Amino acid sequence: MVSDMGVCYLLGYPVGHSMSAVMHNAAFRELSLEHRYELLPVRPGDLASVVSGRMRDPDVLGANVTIPHKVAVLGLLDWVEPEASRIGAVNTLVNDGGVLKGHNTDGMGAMRALLEAHEELRGSRVLLLGAGGAARAIGYHLTKNVEALIIANRTLQRAVELAEDLSSNTECVASVEACSLTTGDLKTALKEADILINTTSVGMAPHVDESPICADLLSPGLLVFDAVYNPMRTKLLRDAEEAGARTLGGLRMLVYQGAAAFELWTGLRAPEALMLRHVEEHLGGGGS
């Protein structure tokens, strides 16, 4: 039973760029819920004390978890949803009477957005940039659907470890490999790729003139999906458009993963269209 008045948090560091409070507070108002959503910057060294303390208070419904805590929070919870455990990352906490439960809505949110843009993933070859919590969630779902997945990361060993983890999942039907972020490796990987997905924070506000990949590596026929949503049109997406590639911003992934978290906290269907509209308006309009 959801309390009459509760609070939800976003745990991360930093959190100032986030639009989660905008969309969740709009959803609470729309459904006449006296809840509130707050951004809570948590340094890595403080995560354990926040999870063991504040997150278990009776007025706390739960939290979203973002960079850099999605993997680290896993070992601090009382129960973890089996899929989130297989992914190895959590982005949503539910406080069930002081018992903290972990879920992952990132992967399904990304897949919904991706399928709206690409429709059919079977047979696709994907280059995934990053090896953090979002990459784990998205990669887990991709390997159940695509033909090939290449993971590129600044620290190659992390990409190798993630590739091994994803390959070991019994539901994996894809070939999974790792490569570095060097121009040569990326050029080779993109020759056969149908989809490029960025899960790193490169290009996120305020660093809006940065991109995780050189513009001259992009080409027509590629779908470029940037999980960064602030700004809505990142440099990666602008470069992709100029190269003739199709683009997908991170806004719908944000809303879809947020809506799933909202439903876990409240038991009510989230007003997705309203949440999307409020974030778009706050970021300056124009869609994703």
Catalytic residue selected from 70, 101, 144, 235: 70
Q: What is the 3-state secondary structure (H, E, C) of 238-254?
A: HHHHHCCCEEECCHHHH
Helix (H) or strand (E) holding 223: strand 223-226
Listed residue (17, 125, 132, 153) closest to 68, CA to CA? 132
Around Cβ 192, how many Cβ atoms within 10 Å?
Answer: 11
Alpha-carbon 13 to chain mean position: 15
Alpha carbon distance 126, 276 (integer Å): 27
d(C-alpha 41, C-alpha 165), whole Å: 30
**DSSP H or E segment with residue 38:** strand 36-41
Pinpoint the alpha helices (H) of the chain: 20-30, 47-52, 82-87, 106-118, 133-142, 156-168, 183-192, 235-242, 251-266, 272-283
The reply to whether 144 belongs to the active site is no
**Cα separation values, 220 from 69, 97, 147, 194, 272, Å:** 36, 52, 20, 10, 31
Rg (CA), the chain: 18
Provide the annotated active-site residues: 70
